[in-house]
Each structure stands twice: as C-alpha cells, then as structure tokens.
Amino acid sequence: MSSYSEAEKETVYRVISERRDMRHFTHEAVDPEILKKLIYAAQLAPSVGFMQPWRFIRITDSTIRDQIYDLAQAEIKLTGEQLKEKKTIYATLKLEGIKDCAEVWVAALMEGRDKYILGRRTMPEMDLASLSCAIQNIWLAARAEGIGMGWVSFFKPDDLASLLSMPADSYPAAVLCIGHVKEFYSKPLLEQAEWDSRRAIDEILYENTWGNACSIINDP
C-alpha cells in the first residue's frame, strides 16, 4: 500500500468530479466482466461493524423491469402533484432511465439486521449509510469504465419489496440504472435545469458550532 503519484491523485479527483447521475442511456449491453468489477467495487465499501448489509438484485426479467418502471412513474406523478413550487421545471425533468438502460439493479438492505449493534445501537440507520457508500463505489467504478449510472428513489419501498419477494425485514433503497451512455452530462441535470444550484464551500463547512465560519476556507 504505497503512496499515490500526483497523476494518480488527479485521477481520483477526476472520477469524483465526472461522475453523474445519469437518466439517458443507449441500449447496448454492458460486458459482464465490467459488471463483475462493479460488484467487486461495492463489496470493498466500508460498513458499520463490518456487517456488509448490501444486497443487489439484477433484474433480467423484462416483465419485472416493466413493473418497476410503472412503480416509478406512479411515484413521479404523485410527487409532481404534491410539489408546491417549481412545478414547471419538474414537468420537464427526465427522472429515471429504467426502460432505456442495459441493466437495472435493485440495491437493498439485507434481512436480519437487528442483531448487528456495533456502531448501530443508537444509530440503526448506519446500515443505509454503508449501502450508500457501496453504491458510490459502483458509481465511481462505472464512470471510470465509461458506464453511466442513475440512482432512482421514486417508488414505495413496500411495493418494490413485494414485487421482488424480499424478506419482510429487508429494504430496497435504490433502483440503479446502469448502462452505456452517449455522453456524460457536463453538469448535473438538475443544475442544468436550474432546479437548484451548487452550494458554496462556506455554506457546507462550519467550525466548532453550527453556522460558524471555518478558518481553513478563509485562509489565502
């Protein structure tokens, strides 16, 4: 485990900055060797108490994919009805690529998590944090491979769990759309659509107490 050259550090920052939440895909199949690398990247993620709560369900059955698409579309409609502002922008957004991508994977939390209390006794939701780190690993590995990924969370978890015959105490946290893309967005789609803007560093980093400016940002 040696050190990283300047060029290698740049590559790490580059993949972090070029990763995008993709909604547009081509239908071209993804090489299974790349899919294996993506799941290896997930397997190497950190997890609270080394519990490794992540499970992935690869959807190859087109009927199930269509049903997931229907769940997402229903929720996209309900969210739109509940929005109090920015309804016009919302109506223009492409919010999922479930029928367009080569691969649909459901990312879920495993069953039987209650017995894992190391780092979770007061914060049981750390299992979701671990799964999210695994998904971020997949995202970054996919970007390096030239493969796009989108995280869709437009669904009712109970409905999706039922569709996939998941155990009662497991939990589906994401529909991942994975596949080749024509090009990666230069900026997040929601930024392009002026849905919201990128927060500045001084808005997200404080010192000692909430809202207090952090000195490292103000240093020249």
Per CB under 8 A, contacts with a copy of itself among 147-206 are 151-157, 164-167, 170, 173-174, 183-184, 186, 188, 190-191, 195-196, 198-199, 201, 204-206
In three-state secondary structure terms, 166 is coil
Site size with a copy of itself, rule: CB under 8 A = 111
Least distance from a copy of itself to the Cβ atom of residue 53, Å: 9
Kindly state the tokens that stand for 21.
Answer: 């939440």
Q: x/- string (CB under 8 A) for a copy of itself, residues 90-129?
A: x----x-------------------x-xxxxxxx-xx-xx
Which residue, 101 or 174, has its beta carbon nearer to a copy of itself? 174
Q: x/- string (CB under 8 A) for a copy of itself, residues 67-86?
A: --------x--xx--xxx--
By the rule CB under 8 A, 57 interacts with a copy of itself: yes
The region, left, alpha or beta by phi > 0 then psi within -120 to 50, assigned to residue 49 is left
The residue behind tokens 């929601």 is 190
Task: Figure out which of the listed residues 24, 42, 101, 177 binds a copy of itself, where binding follows CB under 8 A.
Answer: 42
Kindly state the tokens that stand for 27.
Answer: 């239908």
Residue 193 to residue 183: CA distance in whole angstroms? 17
Least distance from a copy of itself to the Cβ atom of residue 24, Å: 14
Which residue, 25 or 155, has its beta carbon nearer to a copy of itself? 155
Q: The dihedral of CA 182, 68, 73, 137: what is its sign?
A: negative
Contact (CB, 8 A) for 151 and 22? no
| Cβ count near 106 (within 10 Å) | 23
Task: Figure out which of the listed residues 26, 28, 44, 66 binds a copy of itself, where binding follows CB under 8 A.
Answer: 44
By the rule CB under 8 A, 59 interacts with a copy of itself: yes
Which residue, 100 or 145, has its beta carbon nearer to a copy of itself? 145
In three-state secondary structure terms, 146 is coil
| Cβ count near 41 (within 10 Å) | 20
Least distance from a copy of itself to the Cβ atom of residue 100, Å: 18
Task: Figure out which of the listed residues 27, 29, 36, 87 binds a copy of itself, where binding follows CB under 8 A.
Answer: 36
Kindly state the tokens that stand for 35.
Answer: 């899919």
Kindly state the tokens that stand for 115.
Answer: 């017995």
Which residue, 10 or 27, has its beta carbon nearer to a copy of itself? 10
Residue 16 to residue 139: CA distance in whole angstroms? 9
